[in-house]
Amino acid sequence: MSRQFEIAKQIIEETCPHRKLKLENIRLFASVIQCKKYHKGDIVLAEGEVCSNLLYIERGLLRQYYVKHGKDMTEHLSCEGSGVVWCIESYFRRTPTHLLMEALEPSIVWEIPRDIMEELSETNCDMSCLYRRFFEDSLILSQVKADMLRFESAKDRYARLMQLFPEIVKRAPLTYIASYLQMSLETLSRVRSSKI
């Protein structure tokens, strides 16, 4: 089996663990995805570009951020096993994004093109289910983050991030983790040094 087929199967299993897709649909999905490789520091999506792909990280670490008053603010951190990465508003409205996406490590990313997936999901039940699940998982994760920021203390936010994404805590620079959790670096240092 090809690497592309194996990755397609992996994406499907992670996204739809309780649904068994037909072999021909796994092959169909494999024919759609495209591999891209990035070096550390590469811009994956620049401000002003239109996000026209969902991105699945095979290996690596990506950061989405925006610039506010000359300071960059981390919106999202993603690594292997954290679902698809995308800029929601740009993707749905087909408008230029205000977010930037960069590789924090050498990364292998699989692009899932919007136009092809929309076309396939209109006539193929398996593709429709898979496509919908990408959005469901991503929106649930967005809600979890919003609730975490609204209702949890700094200590609880950090504990939640460690629970949900331990690899991000191990691999992302502390400055980006603090920004993602909307706390100062000093607060993050105090939280990390206390017993959780």
Tell me: pLDDT of 1 over 80. no
**3-143: what fold?**
Jelly Rolls (2.60.120)
- Helix pair angle (154-164, 125-151), 10° resolution: 150
Check: CB of residue 132 under 8 Å from CB of residue 84: no
pLDDT tens-digit readout, 69-79 = 999 999 999 99
Question: pLDDT tens digits, residue range 37-67?
Answer: 999 999 999 999 999 999 999 999 999 999 9
Contact predicate 125/66, CB 8 Å: no
CB 26 within 8 A of CB 8: yes
Domain extents for the chain? Answer: 3-143, 152-196
